[in-house]
């Protein structure tokens, strides 16, 4: 199952500041719900885990993320993530293309295009579920990222997946088949 999402948001901070956070995996990992970094493979590739739990469904992916492109002149970043389900029941791939634009000295527009491919158990719930879950994870990431930019501490509960809304998406997805 493959889905594409296009999302945009505005971040308070200069384009240089926003760029600096996005290209530093140690800074950005705190903002991505359910993700932990474990190992640095080289200057552009990192190993880690992604754990998703919503209702009775739990999926853990062991994988890696690679900074495929870091074009500071055009403020364009491409990340590619690949993971295998820890139980061997599927896989997931993600490509995220980020482009920054200066709106003002302290406002940066962040434009994203994300393609997610899921094979295995989660794929059986359909593209609606994948879209809903991706949308909610993205919104949680944006909230955490904005907090980080403003200097606020990201609460531990904001680093984990907020499953209540996602469970509703699963139920809707099952009954829409």
> Domain range for residue 104?
2-176
Task: Kindly report the backbone phi and psi dihedral angles of residue 33, in degrees, each rounded to the nearest multiple of 5, phi listed first.
Answer: -60, 135
Contact 161, 33 (CB under 8 A): yes
Q: Which pLDDT value is given to residue 135?
A: 82
Q: Which pLDDT value is given to residue 2?
A: 86
CB atoms within 10 A of CB 42: 7
Contact 167, 125 (CB under 8 A): no
pTM listed for this prediction: 0.83
Strand partners, 118: 92
| Number of domains observed in the structure of the chain | 1
Q: Which pLDDT value is given to residue 54?
A: 59
Q: Which pLDDT value is given to residue 174?
A: 46
| Widest pairwise Cα distance in the chain | 48
Q: Which pLDDT value is given to residue 43?
A: 94
Write out the H or E segment, with its range, that includes residue 105.
none
User: Mean pLDDT, 10 residues at a time, over the chain (177 residues)?
Assistant: 91 96 91 90 94 74 94 97 89 94 95 90 74 83 92 70 51 51
Write out the H or E segment, with its range, that includes residue 169.
helix 163-176
Q: Which pLDDT value is given to residue 46?
A: 96
- CATH value at residue 71: 3.30.530.20
**For residue 103, what are the contacts with CB-CB under 8 A and spacing of at least 6?**
10, 109
Q: Which pLDDT value is given to residue 123?
A: 76
How far, in whole angstroms, is CA 82 from its chain's centroid? 12
Q: Which pLDDT value is given to residue 55?
A: 60
């Amino acid at each position: 199952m493959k889905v594409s999402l296009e999302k945009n948001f505005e971040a308070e901070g200069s384009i240089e500041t926003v760029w600096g956070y996005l290209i530093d995996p140690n800074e950005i990992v705190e903002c991505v719900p359910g993700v932990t970094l474990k190992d640095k493979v080289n200057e552009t590739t990192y190993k880690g885990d992604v754990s998703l739990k919503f209702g009775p469904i739990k999926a853990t992916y062991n994988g890696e993320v690679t900074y495929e492109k870091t074009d500071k002149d055009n403020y364009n970043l491409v990340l590619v993530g690949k993971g295998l389900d820890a139980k061997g029941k599927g896989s997931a791939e993600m490509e995220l293309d980020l482009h920054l634009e200066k709106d003002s000295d302290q406002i940066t527009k962040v434009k994203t295009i994300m393609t997610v491919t899921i094979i295995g158990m989660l794929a059986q719930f359909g593209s609606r579920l994948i879209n809903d879950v991706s949308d909610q994870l993205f919104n949680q990431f944006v909230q955490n990222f904005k907090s980080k930019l403003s200097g606020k501490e990201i609460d531990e509960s904001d680093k984990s997946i907020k499953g209540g809304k996602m469970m509703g998406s699963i139920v809707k997805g099952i009954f829409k088949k």
